[in-house]
Structure 1
């Protein structure tokens, strides 16, 4: 899917092409965004900007924004992706087609927990509705691009391993798991799906990276310190050492 097996996780209002370029030699993938696509998601993002101390990407045309920032990474030594939010499936298809043009990954956001986004039908609301989430995955997959779904553990009423299996069956290539304080769930997800599992949350060094790999993750992603080259260097070394040792043992 990508090497080295370390990704940069999207940070709303921060993760653009310049962000990825600044540390491109340390990672195998970079998820830009998240970006709101349809009117409901964009209205929710505006509320977040207005009412909270948060940044959001709110360009005049989100699709042009995606195309421009992915084009800026066409020659980068990593695989780009774009994390997207939408209350309906059709905007995801359009965004996925743009990703396909750049050999990028479309990442469906079923992760955000802000009330504004959930009320709009995005984020964790989507995660709680597996039928609708699978429809998004199938819609995106029809464009021929690789599809990731960003999910979160500890969401009430969600059996994440079962959901991951359904996403795999719907055509998801990657399940990107924010493990919160339930790191062991990564093992259950890895057992439940043949999709490429990326584990996220608290990845800072050898110990935190290896923990997820031992649970069965295929890669790890770095969130808040994704602009810190020292952190990324430590994590990349740990990941490469772990897979090298695993190859020798096998």
Structure 2
């Protein structure tokens, strides 16, 4: 699988349609749901970042997903919240559209972390598990986006915890620790694993796939058709070779 990873203030329905020729899944957002997360997003805008700040976040989620109901690409929404109930409400909207609800336990901006959003959730497993359970109970397919290299966080243990709470997928920003993908896959084999960070071509995509990821995502260059074309071709080639029983090394070379 090739996914388009959310980019704050840029990843909307039009962006998803533009990448639909190459990707299987588009994760829109991120969208700040509750008052504290929205206040943090406004602070980010004040210092020059792009953020989605619609008057009604749930209506925005509904409208954006509705715009993709007939699109040739699956959709999901990456969300941030300092409280649980908006997660459940957004998950119900996603469920109505057959879309993925992706809980953001990834963003590291100080403003978001200060109110308990983003990677702060990685240090508060009980609250993250509560969010996952709420989204699962609302009927959505649940993904959690996480980040490697967060001090004090055992990412494989987090993967096991969210799997037990009802998550369906984990979206791993591996940072500079690509082998962590293999550890996450081993710890929670029932989770669909998307790997992210620096995916640009065959070598970078195949490395993550060789570590056991079920798919890869493209972030910043997700609006670059040349990058998407290269990665989509790499993923398809990997799947074909593995389907034919060929062994592929982590360095992207096929043993002769």
Give yes or no for TM over 0.5: yes
The RMSD of aligned alpha carbons is 0.7
- The CA distance in 1 between the partners of 2:20 and 2:238, in whole Å, is 21
Which residue matches 1:8? 4
- The CA distance in 2 between the partners of 1:244 and 1:189, in whole Å, is 24
- The CA distance in 1 between the partners of 2:138 and 2:31, in whole Å, is 19
2:71 aligned to which of 68, 76, 82: 76
2:205 is the counterpart of 1:209: yes
Which residue matches 2:234? 238
Deviation for aligned residue 1:23: 1.5
- The CA distance in 2 between the partners of 1:241 and 1:145, in whole Å, is 31
1:7 aligns to what SS in structure 2? strand
1:130 aligned to which of 125, 141, 161: 125
- The CA distance in 2 between the partners of 1:237 and 1:213, in whole Å, is 13
2:244 aligns to what SS in structure 1? helix
Deviation for aligned residue 1:224: 0.3
2:42 is the counterpart of 1:46: yes
Deviation for aligned residue 1:78: 1.1
Q: Deviations over 1:156-183 (max 9, x none)?
A: 0100001001111111101000000000
Q: TM-score, normalised by structure 2?
A: 0.95
Deviation for aligned residue 1:33: 0.2
2:33 is the counterpart of 1:37: yes
- The CA distance in 2 between the partners of 1:76 and 1:192, in whole Å, is 34
1:69 aligns to what SS in structure 2? helix
CA contact 2:17–2:73 (8 Å) conserved in 1 = no
2:195 is the counterpart of 1:171: no
CA contact 2:197–2:219 (8 Å) conserved in 1 = yes
CA contact 2:100–2:141 (8 Å) conserved in 1 = yes
Deviation for aligned residue 1:77: 1.0
- The CA distance in 2 between the partners of 1:240 and 1:86, in whole Å, is 35
- The CA distance in 1 between the partners of 2:160 and 2:212, in whole Å, is 15
2:21 aligns to what SS in structure 1? helix
Unaligned runs of 5+ in 2: 247-256
Moved over 6 A (4+): none
Unaligned runs of 5+ in 1: none
Which residue matches 2:146? 151
Q: TM-score, normalised by structure 1?
A: 0.97
Deviation for aligned residue 1:127: 1.2
